[in-house]
Amino acid sequence: MVRVANFLSGRKRKRSFRTWNSFFSLRSHQNNFRKQKRVISLNYFDLTFEGSFEQLMESNQSKPGLLCNPEVSQRTLYPYVTGTSVVALKYKDGILMAADMGGSYGSTLRYKSVERMKPVGKHSLLGASGEISDFQELLRYLDELILYDNMWDDGNSLGPKEVHNYLTRVMYNRRNKFDPLWNSLVLGGVKKGQKYLGMVSMIGVNFEDNHVATGFGNHLARPILRDEWHENLTFEEGVKLLEKCMRVLLYRDRSAVNKLQISKITEEGVTISQPYSLKTFWGFSAFENPTLGAEGSW
């Protein structure tokens, strides 16, 4: 027992000596660090810095982005190439939708052949205003959704209501990440004789109606639709009404171009027309001097 006790006490004393030795060694290293200017190499998010500790602190105070790189996470601060209004309505056999083909780079009408209406699955038609690249990203999401749905091979397919609900969740989710998809969407379709028409804003606000519009169409086309729309519209009457709305938007919206498409979706499927132009008349007296009588105008 004595030998065991001595053995244990010897190991304990030996271990204590090593512990104190390590402690004093650490203190000496700390003192040396305080006294000497050590060279520091920093590599953080592809940012490099070499210099003394004091230089690092001064640089960090003058440039807060050194230790927190703002380029790691980027957001869409402003849209680049955008499309303007989309107008859609229900008619007797299905849904009609109209949009022009302009793509504006800021205030410049840079592109004249941008298609902003696309079929989604078997029963839906999607139109978009806003950032064109975000619209293309949404189309990739929807392609994956339709492919996943088809893989089940169970005889069912997503209808317009399901696709619309999916879009509302995607837009609201991106809004909550403070990285929105910069679009206003119109989704229409027909499934099992039921017509469906709704829209989604860039922050996830959504609703259904008999006629919808995005952009300037909310202000200029919806009043016309409220006055002239009825549920028994024929195809020809619906096209004529949409052309009237698009003509007003062409007169009043600087981002609109006189090159448009009209699409329809029925139980038989989606049909998108070839691009065409509207007949216009610019001889109105109000167009000759539009600022006449306007106070504060140039």
Could you list the active site residues? Answer: 76
Instruction: Tell the residue number behind the tokens 């259904």, with chain if given.
Output: 208
Q: What is the DSSP letter of 276?
A: B
Task: Give yes or no for a contact between 131 and 82, defined as CB atoms under 8 angstroms apart.
Answer: yes
Task: Tell me how far apart the alpha carbons of residues 224 and 221 are, in angstroms, rounded to a whole number.
Answer: 5
Task: Tell me how far apart the alpha carbons of residues 55 and 41 are, in angstroms, rounded to a whole number.
Answer: 12
Taken as a whole, the chain contains a residue count of 298
Q: E strands along the chain, which residues?
A: 39-44, 47-52, 81-83, 86-90, 95-100, 103-105, 108-111, 117-120, 124-131, 183-191, 194-200, 206-208, 211-213, 260-266, 269-272
Task: Tell me how far apart the alpha carbons of residues 68 and 204 are, in angstroms, rounded to a whole number.
Answer: 31
Task: Give yes or no for a contact between 104 and 110, defined as CB atoms under 8 angstroms apart.
Answer: yes
Closest by Cα among 212, 67, 77 to 134: 77
Task: Give yes or no for a contact between 186 and 212, defined as CB atoms under 8 angstroms apart.
Answer: yes
The token duo for 291 is 């600022």
